[in-house]
């Protein structure tokens, strides 16, 4: 039985760090163990221009603990008013790594997102020409589409037509939650990849809704039925380089989660690595954890893998869920995977 495993210092290819007090509270939880993270731009107002990305990056660096070896990789939030030259210049100069497409209204802080994809086609063409990856929140928002079907319908109505129109565009289907998404990415060639979150590898919709509603498991895309969760786990542990970690760790204060209309988002940064070690171990796939958390994403984004390593060790006793974070504005609950976790980051 493997009791210790050393992996390459990992990357989180989908992370929400927020701003101000929350940014200060959550950044250390990622910065201690991850080499890089792709920072989501859905602030209020969103990060739309090169200059806003530079300023946000500086605020993140100021929130990093001294001595942490962490590089935020920035994204821009695509709007119908995005300036293609500003965007392409920011990518060319290394200010941004990718651009994020939120269908308007799809999720937290997405009001400025795209309503009509035709309106952003010139920007997407410029991105395809310049090799700037597009990260998509892959859900339609039409009120007649059931929330559990929104990812599958997005593939048919938006993603596949877009990729046929712009075959050179590199796309990341973020936080895939369905076997439909997995199948689409698996058959999609080198120009498409998918991130998988930690929480979607653990929870299905029953965990959220059966026996009482658990607001801390509400996120978008919403957790689906068990067959889908199993497909996500199979993809994560498969060693297929099209799939890599993007935690989508999305902190919201308890006061915003435990409300009549609670926010979507689960905070997983503190225990993501331990949870992943647990699930890969359970499936006899610890040897593939490095690929999922450190190698596949770096290869897709064409950056060198990180220097340095992280060691995880198995523990006799189950590890407690990390304590809720105390922020100046209130409490922040950490993801409870609901199964005993017998792994922790060593040291």
Shortest spacing between CB 316 and ligand NCD, in angstroms: 34
CB closer to ligand NCD, 88 vs 219: 219
DSSP category for residue 115: S
Nearest approach, Cβ of residue 341 and ligand NCD (Å):
22
How near is the Cβ of 16 to ligand NCD at its closest, in Å?
Answer: 5
Helix (DSSP H) and strand (DSSP E) numbers for the chain? 14, 13
Residue 212 gets the label, from left (phi > 0), alpha (psi -120 to 50) or beta, of left
Chosen residue from 35, 46, 265, 337 binding ligand NCD by CB under 6 A? 265
| Residue closest to 176 by CA, chosen among 112, 244, 238 | 244
Backbone phi, psi, residue 75, to 5°: -130, 160
200: partner contacted, choices ligand NCD, Zn ion, none (Cβ within 5-8 A by kind): none
Tokens of residue 211, six digits: 């026996």
Site size with ligand NCD, rule: CB under 6 A: 12
- For ligand NCD, which is the closer residue by CB, 106 or 236? 106
Q: Which long-range contacts (CB under 8 A, 24 or more apart) does 108-111 make?
A: 108/42, 108/220, 108/250, 108/252, 108/263, 108/264, 108/265, 109/42, 109/43, 109/44, 109/46, 110/42, 110/137
Answer yes or no: 248 catalytic.
yes
Q: Does 248 sit near Zn ion (CB under 5 A)?
A: yes
11 binds Zn ion (CB under 5 A): no
Task: State which residue, 248 or 336, has the beta carbon closest to Zn ion.
Answer: 248
Interface characters, 109-138, with ligand NCD (x: CB under 6 A): x---------------------------x-
By the rule CB under 6 A, 195 interacts with ligand NCD: no
Pure H helices in the chain: 20-31, 50-63, 84-92, 121-130, 150-154, 160-165, 179-186, 199-202, 205-209, 226-237, 254-257, 272-282, 289-290, 296-300
Q: Which does 107 bind (CB under 5 to 8 A by kind): ligand NCD, Zn ion, none?
A: ligand NCD
Cis-peptide into 45, omega within 30 deg? yes
**Minimum CB distance to ligand NCD smaller for 26 or for 312:** 26
In Å, what is the CA distance from 43 to each residue of 50, 196, 257?
15, 22, 17
Question: Counting every residue, how long is the chain?
Answer: 347
* Window 51 to 70, contacts with Zn ion (CB under 5 A): none
Residue 62: C-alpha distances to residues 10, 18, 58, 175, 252 (Å) = 21, 13, 6, 28, 21
278 binds ligand NCD (CB under 6 A): no
- CB nearer Zn ion, residue 8 or residue 42: 42
**Minimum Å distance from CB 42 to Zn ion?**
7
By beta carbon distance, the residue nearest Zn ion is 248
> x/- binding map, residues 15-44, to ligand NCD, per CB under 6 A?
-x-------------------------x--
Are 15 and 31 contacting, i.e. CB atoms less than 8 angstroms apart? no
Binding site for ligand NCD (CB under 6 A): 16, 42, 107-109, 137, 219-220, 248, 250, 264-265
Enumerate the active-site residues: 248
Binding site for Zn ion (CB under 5 A): 248
């Amino acid at each position: 039985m493997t009791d210790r495993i050393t992996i390459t210092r990992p990357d989180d290819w989908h992370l929400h760090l927020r701003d101000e007090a929350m940014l200060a509270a959550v950044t250390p939880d990622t910065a201690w163990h991850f080499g890089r993270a792709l920072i989501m731009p859905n602030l209020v107002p969103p990060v739309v221009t090169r200059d806003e990305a530079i300023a946000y990056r500086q605020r993140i660096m100021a929130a990093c603990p001294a001595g942490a070896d962490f590089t935020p990789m920035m994204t821009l939030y695509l709007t119908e008013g995005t300036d293609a030259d500003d965007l392409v210049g920011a990518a060319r100069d290394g200010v941004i790594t990718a651009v994020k497409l939120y269908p308007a209204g799809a999720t937290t802080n997405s009001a400025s997102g795209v309503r009509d994809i035709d309106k952003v086609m010139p920007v997407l063409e410029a991105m395809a020409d310049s090799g700037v990856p597009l990260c998509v929140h892959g859900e339609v928002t039409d009120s007649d589409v059931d929330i559990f079907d929104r990812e599958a319908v997005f593939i048919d109505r938006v993603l596949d037509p877009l990729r046929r129109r712009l075959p050179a565009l590199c796309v990341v289907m973020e936080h895939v939650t369905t076997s439909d998404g997995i199948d689409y990415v698996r058959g999609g060639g080198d120009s498409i990849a998918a991130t998988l979150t930690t929480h979607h590898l653990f929870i299905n919709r029953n965990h959220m809704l059966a026996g009482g509603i658990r607001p801390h498991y509400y996120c978008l895309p919403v957790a689906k039925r068990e067959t889908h969760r199993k497909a996500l786990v199979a993809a994560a542990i498969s060693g297929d380089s099209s799939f890599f970690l993007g935690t989508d760790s999305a902190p919201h204060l308890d006061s915003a989660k435990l409300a009549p209309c609670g926010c979507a988002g689960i905070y997983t940064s503190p225990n993501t690595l331990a949870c992943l070690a647990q699930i890969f171990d359970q499936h006899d796939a610890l040897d593939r954890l490095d690929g999922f958390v450190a190698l596949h994403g770096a290869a897709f984004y064409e950056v060198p893998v990180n220097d340095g390593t992280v060691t995880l060790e198995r523990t006799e006793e189950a590890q407690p869920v990390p304590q809720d974070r105390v922020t100046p504005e209130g409490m922040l609950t950490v993801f409870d995977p609901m199964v005993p976790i017998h792994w922790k980051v060593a040291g």
